[in-house]
């Protein structure tokens, strides 16, 4: 994939163009042109194809940077030669620039291709930007002081160093509330706008001016007002036009493959590409690339196999099965790649298809655009029924009767929600109150009565723009050129010139395509009545990944966002898992996607570690960024040895399992070296985290197993969270507190706590509620699974636990260490605070809390929930 960039009115370092190009690894060298405070650059494709992406006119007035490709270069060049122009290499950029020189922006309407371009006019000191008629290739513009930045990718502008990155709250709201995006100039980044499909944008001393250079939208609407009747001959003509579109887009010096989903759009492309290759005398087998999901209702392997079997030896079929674990691993890269949030996880299927295809092919044909052009969505059928009813009740009844199976299949989930009594949950109830209030006036409506108007909207506003964005981003990620035969002006004009009978019949869309491909594709594909589309088994995957998703929703970053009501989101997600509410996986994904997007583009995050297991710590080393030795505030010198363990579970015998790690420590002490032997001669103690004690006592619960009541939801909202932990600031932990102490006592303590705050006395709640309520803790994002999705009560009888562990230790440790053993301490500690919950060791709790002043343990990836602590003899003075 190519890319272009530029700036105007920005005096910056020469590296600005490189930053704007957002160069991917493996991309070729960029070509640049500079003129005082204006500059343009173009980057060739990964394979070096199309090196001539920058062109300057004779005399030097115009300089053009081009991203994309022309499909009518030969015809356009011929027209220009007739007008007296001659050419050098005749590259796409040279032909486009010559057309611009001859006809100005009117010449853009003569271009047939997928392109984005920028033209610098030296004489007028203006920069002209434009995208192709459908907006296949992207282009973004942002103000920078009194100047402008231009780039093919948003991240180029973000990394420019002269643009302040801020989220666009209105766009985020519309995405979360209405599931709309890519439907206008605004992006998810404040101040960064996209150039629209068929739009020309002029930047100059007068600011920014936008207008369309083409009447394609109006032309399609005009054709629809005077349609011709649909006949069998129309199907033949449609097939010829689609074949021509495939032929234009399959021209390449490299290998060409097809993204084959199993639906009729991609199947038609694979079949017609085979015909094109055959007529050209090609001998190479066509590659088809298919993601399959065995066992899922969306699996299309049977249809893929039927299509490839029909093509026989002329196709080399590649199938693979994406898994939820792979999706989890790739999720952040997908978010980073796409630059803006996605409507669903569906683009991950294409992400994986192109990842696989890039190993062999440089061009991949894809079926996107067929649904928008040919009435392939369920909403199109409903609009068609309404239109029929307006013309004739009998016609509408006839169509309704022949499409009942399709309508029942589409409506089953909604009917199921009502029959099961699932609670309706409004998306706005999951949003931050101030955020939702600020955008409460936002509305979004779509065309519901005129099919052709709806198709125009879907082609240019509602649907196709987002598909084109995700396709382009995935293609750039893997260095593949994706071409879309259904996104074609000639094809669109032809289809809009036919009446609605060409589109929808008997509950199925794309009638003209089905008729055109009958006999060329298997009947199981042509007459298929259960539409799937390019998607993933999203709901199934989310159920498998629920602990990971919970972890994100429970994170401090999520809690602090102004966009979400964390408690409501957790409750809704809990209800979705249990099937008790109407929340769907699409809503869950949008919330999750915004959180991951904010983390990726706005939060300060440490660079991701390589996918290599870290070295395992020995018993005689400190945890990372910790130390073994400490001199406490009361002057005691201690050596702390944190012990790495396996995860503890409810069914584990605490004493027996813990003794295996203590045995390991003492058996390896001699080999650890003289320094450690010398450090372990004094009095020693065993410290153990209260978490694993609670786990083995059955006092740790997955949050989705905690039945949260209304009082817990209400009371948790008034808890002040501190850096020390979640405490009772979660409805899950508050519910545990209510169950442990009783609601009356919790209400009494809450009232007392509120009075205490007014009087400046902190902690009165815990004094009044009594028991070990202070030890209740919720899930933390830094903990290892399952602690990251669990809430726990404090351990029961921690003094008794300490005594039992001490007895087991004295019965097992070497005799030399038995006499110096001082006892066991059950400790609740983190990097902010520490609290001894139980002990059988002598002395005050404060003495042992001081030994953990810097918390040497680690219960995340470190997995060190216990430590052996030796008091060190005082240093002798010579």
pLDDT in tens, 358-414: 999 999 999 999 999 999 999 999 999 998 888 889 888 988 898 888 888 777 776
Q: Which of 767, 338, 366, 838 is nearest to 594 (CA)?
A: 338
714-to-708, 710, 732, 734 alpha-carbon distances in Å: 10, 6, 11, 9
- Give me the DSSP letters along 596-643: HHHHHHTS--PPPPPSSPPPPPPTTSPPTT--SEEE-TTS-EEEEEEE
Domain 629-697+796-871 falls in which CATH fold? 60s Ribosomal Protein L30; Chain: A; (3.30.1330)
Per-residue pLDDT, averaged over 645-649, amounts to: 92
- The mean pLDDT value of the chain amounts to 91
Residue that is written with structure tokens 């010559």 in the block: 98
Going by their DSSP bridges, the two strands 207-212 and 199-204 should be labelled as antiparallel
What is the token pair recorded at 230?
Answer: 């649909």
Concatenated DSSP letters for 311-375? HGGGEEEEEE---HHHHHHHHHHHHHHHSS--SSSTHHHHHHHHHHHTTT-SEEE--TTHHHHHT
Indicate where the chain has its CATH 3.40.50.620 domain(s): 252-376+466-526
Helices (H), 531-579: 538-544, 546-553, 556-559, 566-578
Is the CB of residue 676 less than 8 Å from the CB of residue 827? no
Contacts of 647 (CB under 8 A, 6+ apart): 784, 785, 786, 863
pLDDT at 831: 67
CA 819 to chain centre: 58
At residue 877, the pLDDT reads 46
Residues of the chain with CATH 3.30.1330.100: 629-697+796-871
3-214 placed in CATH 1.20.58.760: no
- Please enumerate in sequence order all residues whose Cβ is within 8 A of that of 354, keeping only pairs 6 or more positions apart, or say none: 259, 289, 364, 474, 475, 477, 478, 480, 482
Q: Where is pLDDT greater, at 877 or 430?
A: 430
Can you state the angle between helices 731-741 and 743-759, rounded to 10 degrees? 120
Q: Identify the residue with better confidence: 52 or 244.
A: 244
Whole-angstrom Cα distance, residue 383 to residue 393? 14
Whether cis (ω within 30° of 0) applies to the bond prior to 786 is yes
**pLDDT tens track for 819-875:** 999 999 999 987 677 899 999 999 999 999 999 999 999 867 789 999 999 998 775
Band (416; pLDDT cuts 50, 70, 90): low
Q: Decide: 165 and 235 in contact? Cβ < 8 Å.
A: no
Task: Tally the residues of the chain.
Answer: 878
The candidate with the shortest Cα–Cα distance to 851, out of 843, 859, 862, is: 843
DSSP letters spanning 665-724: HHHTHHHH-HHHHHHTSS-EEEEEEHHHHHHHTT-EEEGGGS---HHHHHHHTTPPPBTT
pLDDT of residue 725: 54
Give CA–CA dist 652/23, Å, rounded: 53
Kindly tell me if the per-residue pLDDT of 356 is higher than 70: yes
Rounded to an integer, what distance in angstroms lies between the CA atom of residue 40 and that of residue 54?
8
Cα separation, 776 vs 559, whole angstroms: 19
Q: pLDDT digit string (tens) for 194-243? A: 999 999 999 998 899 999 999 999 999 999 999 999 999 999 999 999 99
Alpha-carbon gap, residue 622 to 76, rounded angstroms? 71
Whether the pLDDT of residue 47 is over 50: the answer is no
DSSP secondary structure string for all residues of 459-487: IIIISHHHHHHHHHHHHHHHT-EEE-TTS
- The pLDDT value recorded for residue 782 is 64
Asked if residue 137 has pLDDT above 90, the reply is yes
Query: What is the DSSP code (8-state) at residue 652?
Result: S
Can you tell me whether residue 43 is helix, strand or coil? strand
Could you tell me the two tokens for 142?
A: 């942002």
**Of 610 and 783, more confident:** 783
- Reading the block at residue 523, the tokens are 């009947």
Helix (H, G, I), strand (E, B) or coil at 121: strand
Half-sphere exposure of 258 (CA within 13 A, CB side): 31
pLDDT at 50 over 60: no
Query: And the tokens for 335?
Result: 């978010």
Which residues does 15 contact at the CB level (< 8 Å), separation at least 6?
Answer: none
Per-residue confidence (pLDDT) for residue 283, from 0 to 100: 66
The pLDDT value given to residue 409: 79
Q: Domain 252-376+466-526 belongs to what architecture?
A: 3-Layer(aba) Sandwich (3.40)
* Under 8 Å between Cβ of 865 and 855: no
User: So what's the pLDDT on residue 66?
Assistant: 96
pLDDT for 41:
94
Nearest alpha-carbon partner for 493 in 373, 367, 370:
373
pLDDT single digits (tens) 532-591: 777 899 999 999 999 889 889 988 899 999 999 998 998 899 889 888 888 999 999 999
Residue 70 pLDDT = 95
**Mean pLDDT confidence for 37-47:** 81
813: number of CA atoms within 13 Å, CB side? 24
Burial of 483 (0-12, 13-18, 19+ CB in 10 A): buried
Q: Which helix (H) or strand (E) is 492 found in, with range?
A: helix 489-496
Q: Which of 242, 251, 244, 466 is nearest to 362 (CA)?
A: 251
Tokens standing for residue 539: 């709901």
| pTM for this entry | 0.82
| Gap between the Cα atoms of 71 and 77, Å rounded | 12
Q: What is the per-residue pLDDT across 448-505, written as a single tens digit (0 to 9) for each?
A: 999 999 999 999 999 999 999 999 999 999 999 999 999 999 999 999 999 999 999 9
Cβ-count burial 433-448 (b if 16+ within 10 Å, e if not): eebbeebeeeeeeebe
Q: Which residue has the tokens 């991917």?
A: 24
Distance CA 760, CA 409 (A): 61
């Amino acid at each position: 994939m190519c890319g272009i960039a530029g700036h105007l009115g920005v005096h910056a370092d020469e590296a600005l163009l490189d930053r704007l190009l957002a160069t991917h690894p493996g991309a070729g060298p960029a070509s640049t042109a500079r003129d005082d405070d204006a500059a343009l650059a173009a980057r060739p494709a990964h394979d070096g194809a199309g090196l001539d992406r920058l062109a300057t006119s004779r005399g030097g007035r115009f300089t053009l940077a081009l991203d994309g490709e022309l499909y009518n270069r030969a015809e356009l060049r011929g027209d220009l030669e007739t007008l007296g122009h001659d050419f050098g290499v005749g590259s796409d950029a040279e032909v486009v620039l010559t057309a611009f020189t001859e006809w100005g922006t009117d010449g853009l309407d003569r271009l047939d291709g997928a392109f984005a371009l920028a033209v610098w006019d030296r004489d007028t000191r203006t920069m002209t930007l434009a995208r192709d008629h459908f907006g296949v290739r992207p282009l973004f513009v942002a103000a920078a002081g009194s100047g402008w930045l231009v780039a093919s990718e948003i991240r180029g502008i973000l990394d420019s160093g002269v643009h302040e990155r801020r989220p666009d709250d209105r766009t985020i709201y519309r995405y979360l509330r209405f599931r709309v995006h890519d439907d206008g100039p605004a992006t998810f980044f404040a101040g960064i706008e996209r150039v629209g499909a068929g739009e020309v944008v002029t930047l100059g001393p007068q600011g920014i001016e936008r207008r369309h250079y083409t009447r394609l939208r109006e032309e399609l609407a005009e054709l629809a007002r005077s349609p011709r009747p649909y006949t069998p001959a129309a199907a033949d003509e449609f097939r010829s036009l689609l074949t021509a579109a495939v032929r234009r887009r399959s021209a390449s010096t490299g290998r060409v493959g097809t993204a084959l989903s199993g639906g009729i759009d991609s199947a038609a492309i694979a079949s017609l590409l085979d015909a094109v290759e055959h007529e050209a005398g090609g001998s190479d087998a066509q590659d088809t690339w298919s993601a399959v999901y065995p066992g899922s209702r969306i699996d299309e392997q049977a249809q893929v196999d039927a299509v490839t079997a029909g093509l026989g030896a002329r196709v080399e079929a590649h199938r693979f099965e994406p898994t939820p674990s792979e999706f989890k691993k790739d999720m952040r890269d997908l978010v980073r790649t796409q630059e803006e949030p996605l409507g669903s996880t569906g683009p991950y299927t294409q992400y994986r298809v192109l990842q696989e295809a890039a190993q062999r092919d440089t061009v991949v044909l894809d079926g996107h655009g067929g649904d928008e052009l040919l009435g392939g969505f369920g909403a199109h059928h409903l609009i068609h029924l309404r239109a029929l009813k307006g013309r004739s009740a009998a016609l509408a009844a006839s169509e309704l009767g022949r499409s009942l199976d399709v309508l029942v299949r589409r409506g089953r989930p909604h009917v199921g929600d009502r029959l099961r009594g699932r609670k309706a949950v409004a998306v706005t109830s999951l949003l931050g109150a101030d955020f939702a209030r600020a955008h409460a006036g936002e509305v979004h409506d779509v065309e519901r009565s005129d099919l052709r108007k709806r198709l125009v909207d879907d082609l240019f506003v509602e649907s196709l723009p987002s598909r084109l964005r995700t396709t382009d981003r995935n293609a750039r990620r893997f260095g593949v050129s994706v071409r879309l035969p259904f996104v074609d002006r000639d094809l669109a004009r032809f289809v809009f010139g036919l009446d609605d009978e060409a589109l929808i019949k008997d509950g199925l869309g794309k009638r003209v395509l089905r008729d055109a491909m009958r006999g060329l594709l298997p009947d199981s594909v042509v007459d298929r009545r259960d539409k799937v589309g390019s998607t993933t088994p999203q709901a199934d995957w989310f159920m498998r990944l629920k602990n990971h998703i919970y972890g994100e929703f429970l994170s401090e970053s999520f809690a602090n966002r102004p966009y979400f009501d964390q408690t409501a989101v957790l409750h809704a997600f809990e209800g979705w898992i249990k099937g008790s509410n109407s929340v769907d996986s699409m809503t869950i994904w949008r919330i999750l996607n915004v959180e991951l997007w904010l983390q990726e583009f706005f939060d300060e995050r440490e660079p991701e570690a390589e996918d290599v297991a870290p070295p395992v710590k020995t018993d005689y080393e400190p945890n990372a960024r910790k130390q073994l030795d400490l001199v406490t505030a009361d002057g005691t010198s201690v050596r702390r040895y944190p012990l790495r363990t396996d995860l503890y579970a409810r069914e584990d015998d605490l004493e027996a399992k813990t003794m295996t790690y203590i045995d390991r420590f003492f058996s390896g002490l001699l080999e650890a070296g003289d320094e450690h032997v010398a450090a372990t001669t004094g009095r020693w103690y065993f410290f153990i985290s209260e978490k694993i004690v609670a786990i083995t006592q059955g006092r740790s619960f997955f949050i989705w197993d905690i039945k949260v009541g209304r009082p817990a939801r209400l009371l948790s909202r008034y808890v002040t969270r501190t850096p020390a932990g979640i405490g009772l600031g979660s409805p899950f932990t508050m519910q545990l507190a209510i169950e442990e102490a009783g609601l009356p006592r919790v209400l009494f303590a809450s009232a007392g706590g509120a009075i205490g705050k007014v009087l400046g006395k902190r902690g009165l709640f815990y004094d009044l509620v009594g028991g070990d309520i202070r030890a209740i803790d919720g899930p933390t994002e830094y903990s290892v699974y399952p602690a990251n999705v669990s809430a726990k009560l404090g351990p029961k009888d921690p003094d008794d636990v300490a005594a039992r562990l001490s007895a087991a230790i004295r019965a097992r440790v070497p005799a030399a260490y038995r006499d110096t053993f001082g006892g066991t301490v059950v400790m609740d500690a983190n990097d902010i605070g520490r609290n001894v919950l139980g002990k059988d060791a002598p002395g005050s709790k404060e003495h042992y809390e001081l030994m953990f002043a810097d918390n040497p343990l680690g219960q995340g990836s470190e997995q060190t929930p216990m430590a052996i602590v030796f008091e060190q003899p005082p240093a002798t003075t010579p």
